[in-house]
Amino acid sequence: MNTHILKKTVKDAALPASGYRIIFDNKIEGFGVRITAAGAKSFVLNYRVDGEKRRFTIGKFPAWTVDAARDEVKKRLLPAINGKGADPVREKKARSAEPKLADLATEYLDQHATIKKREKSVYEDKRMLNNIILPKLGKLRVSAVTRRNVESLHNSLRKTPYQANRVLSLLSKMFTFAMDGEMRTDNPAKGIGRFKEDRREAWFSREQLQALAIALDNYAEQDAADALRLLIVTGARPGEVIGATWPMFDLQRGTWNKPSHHVKEKKMEHTPLNPTAVMILQRIAAHRTGIHLFPGRDAGTARTTLRNAWKQVCKAAGLATQYHVKGKRGKPLPRWKPTVRVYDLRHTFASHLISRNWSLQLVGKLLGHTQAATTERYAHVADAALRNVTNDFDEVLSLPESA
């Protein structure tokens, strides 16, 4: 059946009893509309390549109008076919075979991140991918992701600039990985401006540390409480503590031997422990159940987070603010958010020691830093040492002239 296809032709076309039928246009050879028994209507183009029949589906009606489908045939499909250009069907199959961003994410994690990055970094990559990147971009072909796609995602996270910049950084690394694998020739995340990050360098006063100590003593899950206590008295990174294993410790000598794969600076560290840390470790050792200091839920694994414990302890110590979320029936439900981060325990360890006039070099060595400049970022939080220096000028003013 051939007729000049119009919008009315498509809308009024009778449905076949079963399967499908095609109404072909009488002006463009091979162009038609396919109608199925279920009522689906799609524009198609029948053509030949080297004597072999092909059928290309242009798109569904009414998402595609008759005029748009006719223009697609005239301006793109027929010139390609008649000019011996790319076969539309073969080109479409090739595009459908291209990896999606979700496929790239899997390859990136398996072939790069898990091999070259720390366990904590891999955990963060997975969290950003699963919660932020893949829900928005996961179904796009790697070659189809544009700078605008990436910029739009980055801008949508502007209320959390630190998170937004980490997402952008991860996408840039993934596309560099894709370029190395010849999945695409450019990096659409490169050159996009980062948001300004206000560096947070909070540290706890003695009174706040005492409030934390009381809250930790009263916390129901003492396993998590001990992990937080170790963070306070060692200045270690959270991942180092919760991922630690017993062979790393020599409690008789009071040292923590951190292997190179476990620390940020990628080298073996032999860190001395203070008596309080040794006492905490001895207490934990008396009830050890495996190789990990803080076992996870599954046998042979370590705990992965202290997030909930930190929230509850901060709430009890008066270091959290209350906010509300809407419940199922519209009733506001109270929630608590810590006003400080667990990583601030590391800042506190460094800042208190620096304020007591210990050198950046010695404090940096305890923290596992290789450069004094890295430790210096903690120094400005505690100004007691600097205040002692400037106060010393009073002694200059009071000296007799003969001196």
pLDDT at 181: 83
Boundaries of every domain in the chain: 2-96, 101-180, 202-403
SS3 content of the chain, % helix, strand, coil (to 5): 50, 15, 35
Lowest mean pLDDT segment, chosen from 43-52, 93-102, 153-162, 255-264: 255-264
Q: Read off the pLDDT of residues 170-198 as tens digits, 9 standing for 90 and up.
A: 999 999 999 998 888 999 999 999 998 76
Q: Read off the pLDDT of residues 321-364 as tens digits, 9 standing for 90 and up.
A: 998 888 877 788 888 899 999 989 988 888 888 778 787 788 88
Query: Is the model's pLDDT at 271 over the cut of 90?
Result: no
Given a contact cutoff of 8 angstroms between Cβ atoms, the answer to whether 379 and 373 are in contact is no
Strand pairing class (20-25; 31-36): antiparallel
pLDDT at 285: 95
Q: How confident is the model at residue 219 (pLDDT cuts 50, 70, 90)?
A: very high
pLDDT at 373: 63
SS3 49: strand
pLDDT at 164: 94
The answer to whether 2-96 and 202-403 have equal CATH topology is no
Q: Judge if the upstream peptide bond of residue 62 is cis by omega within 30 degrees of 0.
A: yes
Of residues 87 and 151, more confidence is placed in 151
Q: How confident is the model at residue 259 (pLDDT cuts 50, 70, 90)?
A: confident
Superfamily (CATH) of domain 202-403: Intergrase catalytic core (1.10.443.10)
pLDDT at 382: 45
pLDDT at 83: 58
2-96 belongs to CATH 3.30.160.390? yes
Query: In terms of C-beta distances under 8 Å and separation of at least 24 residues, what long-range contacts does 249-254 make, across chains too?
Result: 249/273, 249/281, 251/278, 251/281, 251/282, 251/285, 254/278
